[in-house]
Amino acid sequence: MTYLCSDFNIYLSSSIFSRFMSLKRFNAIDIIHNRFDISLPDSSPEKRQISSFYGENVFNDDTMRKYLPESAYFSVKAAIQTGTNLTKEVAGVVAETMKKWAMDKGATHYAHWFQPLTGKTAEKHDSFFTITSEGKAIEEFGSKELAQQEPDGSSFPGGGLRSTFEARGYTSWDPSSPAFILEVGNGKTLCIPTIFVTYSGESLDYKLPLLKSTSFIEQAALNVCKMFDDTVERISVTLGWEQEYFLIDESFLLARPDLMFTGRTLLGKHSQKGQQLEDHYFGSIPERALNFMRDLETECHKLGIPVRTRHNEVGPAQYELAPMFEEVNIAVDHNQLLMDLMERVAKKHKLAVLLHEKPFDGVNGSGKHNNWSLATNTGKNLLSPGRNPGQDLKFLTFFVNTIRAVKEHADLLRASIASASNDHRLGANEAPPAIISVYVGKALKEVLDFIAQGKESNQIMIKEVLSLLKKTPNLELDNTDRNRTSPFAFTGNKFEIRMVGSSMNCSGPMTIMNTIVGDQLNKFKQEVEQLMATEDKPQDRAIMAILRKYINESLPILFEGDGYSKEWEEEAARRGLNNRKNTPEALYAYKDPKVKELFIRSGVFTEHEQEAHYAVMFENYNLKLDIESKVLADLCKSYILPACYAYQTKIANNIFALKQLDLPSDSFASQSNLLKELSDHINLVASKTGELEEAIHSAHQQPDFETEAKAFCHHVKPLMESIRLSVDYLEGIVEDNLWPLAKYREMMFFR
Ligand code: ADP
Ligand code: MG
């Protein structure tokens, strides 16, 4: 089981907490005090050089070359590069080889590994072992088992794509992502990356749209690239993600039902900044966290995930991990796999990883920057100005087209990163705002302004632009000029999409990036060719004319200032940029006819799939808020209020006793004031919890998922926030010994 029970399969009822044995706050603290030495089983690879075990659990190119007959090997390679299917015979040879390799390594089971729209990965394990019709026990795994499986689809969201009588979903092998062996406890399972589709092939997952959008942009980018360089044969999309997360002792997870069920603290008073630093546990954080990181790194390396770790100091107990960039499909799989590994490895260390975007109120949230670029088969980065930026217009073409695409589809990009949990982070003054703007840095902004203001795109102007580009400081090394408040920034040789949430599947925003930029590149090529034909312009002048038009059209979205400031919100509104602050509002972008046509034109989503994915995003939102609000109501009723009543009684008894002594009333004035304060907040919590339960009920009564989401967003959420205000206040005045939930300062500093 995974730690973050934001899974939607949880059975929710008023007895939600009876499903697990909760740990009491002081037991948790005791346990932690006694964790002097977490000695781990010696996993020997750590002592070897990384290169000697890197990728040892992956059925990668080297393994295939070694195990497969030559002809089968080349068929697989060709299928990966062209995206075509393998013949049944070749699939049979691959399956047989894969089985042998996996069994040699001790695997007993295999699983189709896929990425349903819940955001987590799923796998259904089957044994290699089977009994033949003659009653003989054998290990079997053929082309059929490799190519397709039928997991119980009905438990994954399908947004209505599967009617109840056709509840089946199928997983189908994605040969472009290598199979791998997952070590769980003492068992080993061969995992086969797959797409998850309906009977008629409609996508029920993140992977298929990503693969479609990738081949769409690769073709579009290749066509544009060939305008400059005829030798390029293939383009690929590259992604380098940066994963942020929190690490706490696992006993606190068990002591906080809200963390356990929703991944975040629904209640909790944040400590003063200074106090956090003074805490005496602070010094011991790095060692335990670093042990975890080292172990995690080893597991990642065995699976061919090229990570390098680093310690991030923004929030206490918050860290970041980033790999080298890879082809987008592989990078996404690796990130999904990493999130899974993190939870497994943490468990070994008696730690819990919090991947939620905002586990602690008032403390920096977690994101997952997505660094996106395009590379040629010759190893050239198309967004790198390179050593000779003055040589041709290629860099400028890809650079400007990306910006133009983001200008055109900013709302769609915003929608692609919308989720209940990311809503807590965006615009919260420590994360990118919900307004999409593009930061390019001073030097490139000057180049763009120069082109925009240029009167004519003649040969002289092109020369000037190219020499201006040549003079810009080395962009790849120029890290000083970085604006951290921008949601979308050019960082020297790639665009960095900073709005992505830490718990998300990167596929969502990556699919949108690929689709919008691919479409924009197609349009660009058409417009240039048209201009060349109608005005008889040479290619570079036509290109410059079109780029100049695009830059002028994109000016409103280019912003170099402070994205967190109030002034920017106002300025953005004047520029006509949208500020969609919550998920239901953001998701409407998918309803825009312009967006619908884009998906059809690019072939990334059919109309039917669009509707289903739209519905699932709303369902995810509604389910998350449903769980959170119910957990909060239960917490108030069974944890917070009983503790407060106990303290209230204690103070009342105290006043009563003093009164018996016939003391003047001002001698127990502070107790009386406290009692009044306590009673006021207790009454507020009790009555608002009642209102909350009614609001949840009424949200469920709404006729459709859109109005339900609005009800959650505009009625349920504000109530949750106002309950929290009172509870957090109570936390500050109720006797510490009586407070039932682990406090922020305890959770964030561990030994
Ligand atoms: P930051 O300063 O934002 O923490 P770094 O420069 O350390 O960033 O690296 C950020 C990420 O950019 C890394 O994960 C790296 O893999 C990724 N990256 C570098 N070059 C590319 C590229 N061409 N395409 C995609 N990602 C890239
Ligand atoms: Mg970054």
pLDDT number for residue 2:
31
- Of the pLDDT bands very low, low, confident and very high (cuts 50, 70, 90), residue 25 is confident
Q: Which candidate, 593, 328, 555, places its Cα nearest to that of 451? A: 555
Query: How far from 97 is each of 29, 93, 136, 154, CA to CA, in Å?
Result: 51, 6, 22, 32
| Backbone dihedral region for residue 80 (phi beyond 0: left; psi -120 to 50: alpha; all else: beta) | alpha
pLDDT number for residue 40:
59
- Of the pLDDT bands very low, low, confident and very high (cuts 50, 70, 90), residue 147 is confident
Residue with tokens 């615009």: 427
Distance 52 CA to ligand 2 centre (A): 30
262 & 403 share domain: yes
Q: Give 402 or 565, the one with higher predicted confidence.
A: 402
User: Can you tell me the mean pLDDT for 489-494?
Assistant: 92
Q: Which candidate, 618, 581, 265, places its Cα nearest to that of 432? A: 581
Distance 367 CA to ligand 2 centre (A): 10
Residue 728 in this model has a pLDDT that exceeds 60 = yes
Model confidence pLDDT, tens digit, residues 427-444 = 776 677 889 999 998 889
597 & 736 share domain: no
Chain-centre distance of CA 189, in angstroms? Answer: 25
The 3-state secondary structure of 668-733 reads HHHHHHHHHHHHHHHHHHHHHHHHHHHHHHHHHCCCCHHHHHHHHHHHHHHHHHHHHHHHHHHHHH
Establish if 278 belongs to a structural domain.
Answer: no
User: Can you tell me the mean pLDDT for 651-680?
Assistant: 93
Which ligand 1 atom is the nearest neighbour of the CA of 479? 2
No. of helices (H) and no. of strands (E), the chain: 27, 17
pLDDT number for residue 415:
97
669 & 569 share domain: no
- Of the pLDDT bands very low, low, confident and very high (cuts 50, 70, 90), residue 6 is very low
Distance 496 CA to ligand 2 centre (A): 7
pLDDT number for residue 248:
92
145 & 265 share domain: no
Ligand 1, atom 11, residue with closest C-alpha: 240
Distance 400 CA to ligand 1 centre (A): 20
Burial 140-163 (b: 16+ CB within 10 A, else e): ebebebbbebebebeebbbbebbe
CA torsion through residues 191, 197, 201, 202, sign: negative
- Bridge-based pairing of strands 129-131 and 122-127 is unpaired
Distance 450 CA to ligand 2 centre (A): 28
Which of 177, 205, 233 is the last residue before a domain boundary?
205
pLDDT number for residue 698:
98
Residue 51 in this model has a pLDDT that exceeds 90 = no
Asked if residue 308 lies in contact with residue 241, where contact means CB atoms within 8 angstroms, the answer is no
User: Can you tell me the mean pLDDT for 595-616?
Assistant: 95
184 & 253 share domain: no
pLDDT number for residue 155:
65
pLDDT number for residue 374:
98
User: Can you tell me the mean pLDDT for 198-208?
Assistant: 88
Establish if 42 belongs to a structural domain.
Answer: no
CA torsion through residues 586, 588, 594, 598, sign: positive
388 & 263 share domain: yes
Q: Give 8 or 164, the one with higher predicted confidence.
A: 164
Query: How far from 233 is each of 221, 315, 378, 381, CA to CA, in Å?
Result: 11, 45, 8, 14
pLDDT number for residue 477:
54
223 & 199 share domain: no
Model confidence pLDDT, tens digit, residues 243-292 = 999 999 999 998 999 999 999 999 999 866 544 444 433 444 467 888 89
Q: Which candidate, 572, 138, 502, 117, places its Cα nearest to that of 320? A: 502
| Residue 103, domain CATH | 3.10.20.70
Ligand nearest to the CA of 321: 1
Question: Does the Cβ of 239 fall within 6 Å of ligand 1?
Answer: yes
Establish if 611 belongs to a structural domain.
Answer: no
Q: Give 303 or 664, the one with higher predicted confidence.
A: 303
Strand partners, 191: 111, 180
- Flag the least confident range among 33-42, 350-359, 388-397, 576-585: 33-42
Q: Give 20 or 402, the one with higher predicted confidence.
A: 402
549 & 635 share domain: no
pLDDT number for residue 163:
54
pLDDT number for residue 173:
87
pLDDT number for residue 590:
96
Highest-confidence range of 61-70, 496-505, 654-663, by mean pLDDT?
496-505
What value does the mean pLDDT of the chain take? 87
- Bridge-based pairing of strands 368-376 and 318-323 is unpaired
73 & 200 share domain: yes
- Of the pLDDT bands very low, low, confident and very high (cuts 50, 70, 90), residue 353 is very high
- Flag the least confident range among 139-143, 341-345, 516-520, 609-613: 139-143
Which of 184, 205, 226 is the last residue before a domain boundary?
205
Structural domain boundaries enclosing 416: 215-269+354-603
Q: Give 675 or 153, the one with higher predicted confidence.
A: 675
Tokens of 213: 């959008």
Question: Does the Cβ of 244 fall within 6 Å of ligand 1?
Answer: no
Ligand 1, atom 13, residue with closest C-alpha: 240
Residue 106 in this model has a pLDDT that exceeds 90 = yes
Residue 391 in this model has a pLDDT that exceeds 60 = yes
Asked if residue 285 lies in contact with residue 749, where contact means CB atoms within 8 angstroms, the answer is yes
Residue 674 in this model has a pLDDT that exceeds 60 = yes
Q: Give 604 or 748, the one with higher predicted confidence.
A: 604
Establish if 344 belongs to a structural domain.
Answer: no
Question: Does the Cβ of 238 fall within 6 Å of ligand 1?
Answer: yes
Which residues, including other chains, have CB under 8 Å from residue 387's CB and lie 6 or more apart?
none
Question: Does the Cβ of 493 fall within 6 Å of ligand 1?
Answer: yes
User: Can you tell me the mean pLDDT for 611-633?
Assistant: 96
pLDDT number for residue 7:
39
Which of 574, 603, 632 is the last residue before a domain boundary?
603
User: Can you tell me the mean pLDDT for 725-745?
Assistant: 95
Counting ligand 1 atoms within 8 A of each CB, the residue from 242, 482, 506 with the most, and so the one to mutate, is 242
- The total number of structural domains in the chain stands at 3
Residue 710 in this model has a pLDDT that exceeds 70 = yes
- Of the pLDDT bands very low, low, confident and very high (cuts 50, 70, 90), residue 131 is confident
75 & 199 share domain: yes
- Flag the least confident range among 48-52, 335-339, 348-352: 48-52
Establish if 147 belongs to a structural domain.
Answer: yes
- Of the pLDDT bands very low, low, confident and very high (cuts 50, 70, 90), residue 136 is confident
Residue 83 in this model has a pLDDT that exceeds 80 = no
Distance 240 CA to ligand 2 centre (A): 9
- Flag the least confident range among 8-22, 33-47, 377-391, 479-493: 8-22
Residue 62 in this model has a pLDDT that exceeds 70 = yes
Contacts of 603-610 with C-beta under 8 Å, sequence gap 24+, read 603/212, 603/216, 604/209, 604/212, 604/213, 604/216, 604/511, 604/514, 604/515, 605/203, 605/209, 606/202, 608/161, 608/202, 609/161, 609/202, 609/203, 609/209
| Residue 25, domain CATH | 1.20.120.1560
Establish if 45 belongs to a structural domain.
Answer: no
8 & 64 share domain: no
486 & 523 share domain: yes
User: Can you tell me the mean pLDDT for 143-154?
Assistant: 75
pLDDT number for residue 124:
78
Establish if 290 belongs to a structural domain.
Answer: no
Question: Does the Cβ of 318 fall within 6 Å of ligand 1?
Answer: no
Establish if 379 belongs to a structural domain.
Answer: yes
Counting ligand 1 atoms within 8 A of each CB, the residue from 334, 371, 380 with the most, and so the one to mutate, is 371
